Every structure is written in C-alpha cells, then in structure tokens.
Amino acid sequence: MSSLNLDDFTDLIERPDGGVRRDAEARRERQAVPPGALGRLDELGEWLAAAQSAVPVRPVEKPRVVLFAGDHKVAELGVSARPAGGAGDLVREVLEGGRPVSVLARRLGVPVRVVDMALDCDPESLPAEVAGHRVRRGGGRIDIEDALTLEEAEAAFRAGVAVADEEADSGTDLVVLGDVSVGGTTAAGVLVAALCGTDASVVTGRGGLPIDDLAWMRKCAAIRDGLRRARPVLGDQLRLLATVGGADLTAMTGFLLQSAVRKVPVVLDGVVTAACALVGQRVAFRAPDWWLASHDSGEPGQAKALDRMALEPLLSQGVRVGEGAGGLLALPVVQAAAALAAELPEATDDPEEPAPAPVA
Ligand SMILES: O=C(O)c1ccc[n+]([C@@H]2O[C@H](COP(=O)([O-])O)[C@@H](O)[C@H]2O)c1
Ligand SMILES: Cc1cc2nc[nH]c2cc1C
C-alpha cells in the first residue's frame, strides 16, 4: 500500500462552482419574493446550488447520518460524565432507536450509519453493520501517550476516505456527520487549542452530560498535557491525529476531506466534528466551503474552531448530546431553503402595467 500523503488533498479539492453560485443568486433576484425577505435561507440555497453545481438547486433526497464511534482512554481520568469505555453502549442505543439522533432520524426518514473505529468492547456485542474498520480498542491516554500509532492513524484515515467514497458512489446527496464517543471532546479540545494556539482553559467545555467543577479541572489539565504533546507535531496533520486525536477523529477527518473531493456537502455536528474540520482545513484550505455548521452546541472549542473556518452556525438550540443530533436538526432547514430556491416562481410582468411603447 502506498504511503498516505495528505498534501494531495490540497489540489484534489476544488471550490464549489462560483459561476453556478452567481447563477443561483441571479435566479433569486428574479423571484417574486424580494431577496433578503428569506434571510439566511437565500445564501443557504445558493450554497447548496453551488455544491450541487445545479440551478435550480435539486432537493436533498438521499441524506444520511454517518457516525464514527470510538472510546478514548483519557476518559479513565474522569474527564467525562460517562464511564470510560462506554461508547459501545451508546452505539447500541443509537441503532436500537433510543437516542436523540435515532428519534430525529426516524421522524425525518434518514438512515443512520455507524462505523466502529475504536470501541473498547467485544465486537461480537455490537450489531454486525458497524464492523469492518476498527483499528484498535480505545485510543491511548493522550495526556501521556499517543492515541494511535502512525500505522493505525493511516488505517483510520483511509477508512474515513473509503466510507466517504461509498456514500458518494451510492448517491448520498448530503451527509450529517457526527461522533459517538466517550472522552472525544477532550481529544477535540486538544486539537482545537493546538491549531488555534490557545490555552487549554479556552477550549475546555462541560461535555455531553455536563461534568462538575472538579471534573472540568481534570479535563482542563488533560487538555493542557495533551497540548504539550501536540505542539511538536503541529505541522504534520496525520501525526497530530495519531498523537492526540484517536481513530474516530482521524476517520472523520479523512471522511470530511474525501467528501469534499467527491463534492458531497457535509453538515457538521458539535465540537468533535468541528475539530476534525479544523484539521481538514489545515490540510486543504478550500475544504470548509463544502461544510455547513449546523448549530452552536455551546462548547467553547466548537465556537473557536468554527470561527477559524468562518463557518456560522445555522441554529442555536444548545444541543450538545452529539451523535449527529444537532446536525440532523439543521436538515429540514436546508431542505426548506432548497425548496424555496427551486420552487418560488419568478416575477412575471405586472399585467396592469402598460406595455412599453413599441420602438418606432
Ligand atoms: O456537540 C457538542 O459540542 C458536544 C459537546 C459535548 C459532548 N458531545 C458528545 O458527547 C460525547 C463525548 O463527550 P465526552 O464528554 O465524553 O467527551 C460524544 O458523543 C460527543 O459527540 C457533544
Ligand atoms: C452561506 C454558506 C457559506 C458557506 N461557506 C462554507 N460553508 C458554507 C455554508 C453556507 C450555508
């Protein structure tokens, strides 16, 4: 297998079509409802048109939720409100229909795909559909050791690329990307702080199930220690992901970049997907043009990462449960924007108005 060179993505990723975007804007100008009257739905429809390279924009008909799952041994430090190694239980609940994302997906008729990258449980205890890409059981304790070997990181990144190709090949026209993890927001915090050059305390949030002050301090210290280990490898994104990311975050970064290559728009969820997107932006500066920030989860690291990419969250409901739930919440808004852009009639000439005098 040839060695992986992330720099190739810089050239492989193009911007969404600017000419199409202008055509979409021009079409919008001709519609009877004045531009501006629909607020941000106008730019949302134009963004989607450019991503699809189609005016009028096509409806989003085959969306899918794609979740990458993993445990992070840093959770053993007591930085999460969930028990270390508990992500497998969450995965089962997602697929059995009991998690927020399951409810929303059912309501919206969107299939959910979960990919086990590093769950710390017996694979036999999981539904067979999640298998095939696991690179190890649990990422290393990133405050004192690497999350992954470089070989594991490469395998995880390739898994993300492969899943993105499968989605593109099967006609998925929009992906809501999310993570199922325990300890993942600590890894995300390290990545965001490292890439934004900030202090641990600036990116340390309370996590999915809120943690108390003592746990927050432990999380802050873990992020600080992880940062110390991340800084020397900041220039090499795959090494950075191996050092402090873990297999789920590495796969998501590969997924995001390859989806941009394949021109499949991706809706980001919370702080973990935002951190992966930030790593992706370092690899390919044009890539964030393909991504939509669904919502502001209230995690400080998410806000920092989105700001760096100039992505403005669409919604602000404080949904911080992860697992793609916040991302999926944005789907009906995207679909509404597409319908309005495609279906609002163009203004016809007012029949009351006298016809212009014929030119002699
Ligand atoms: O959406 C967010 O910003 C968000 C904030 C905190 C936690 N989460 C979710 O909670 C899980 C991991 O949280 P934690 O506290 O164990 O690091 C993982 O599945 C995340 O998607 C998500
Ligand atoms: C308007 C808009 C601009 C963007 N730039 C990158 N992602 C985007 C998503 C939207 C919706």
The confidence score (pLDDT) of residue 2 equals 61
Which segment of 60-69, 130-139, 201-210, 234-243 scores lowest on mean pLDDT?
Answer: 201-210
The confidence score (pLDDT) of residue 191 equals 98
Pocket lining: 297 vs ligand 1, CB cutoff 6 Å: yes
Q: Alpha-carbon dihedral of residues 121, 248, 238, 217, nearest 10 degrees?
A: -90
Ligand closest in space to the Cα of 48: 2
Task: Please name the residue ranges forming H helices in 231-314.
Answer: 237-240, 247-261, 271-283, 300-308
pLDDT, one tens digit per residue, over 170-225 is 999 999 999 999 999 999 999 999 999 999 999 998 877 889 999 999 999 999 99
The confidence score (pLDDT) of residue 208 equals 74
Catalytic residues: 323
Closest CA relative to residue 276, chosen from 172, 131, 153, 114:
153
pLDDT, one tens digit per residue, over 13-43 is 999 999 999 999 999 999 999 989 999 999 9
The confidence score (pLDDT) of residue 3 equals 80
Ligand closest in space to the Cα of 338: 2
201 Cα to the center of ligand 2, angstroms = 29
232 Cα to the center of ligand 1, angstroms = 26
pTM: 0.96
Q: pLDDT band for position 152 (50/70/90)?
A: very high
Q: pLDDT band for position 330 (50/70/90)?
A: very high
Half-sphere exposure at residue 221, Cβ-oriented, CA atoms within 13 angstroms: 11
108 Cα to the center of ligand 1, angstroms = 23
Pocket lining: 290 vs ligand 2, CB cutoff 6 Å: no
Pocket lining: 43 vs ligand 2, CB cutoff 6 Å: yes
Pocket lining: 296 vs ligand 1, CB cutoff 6 Å: no
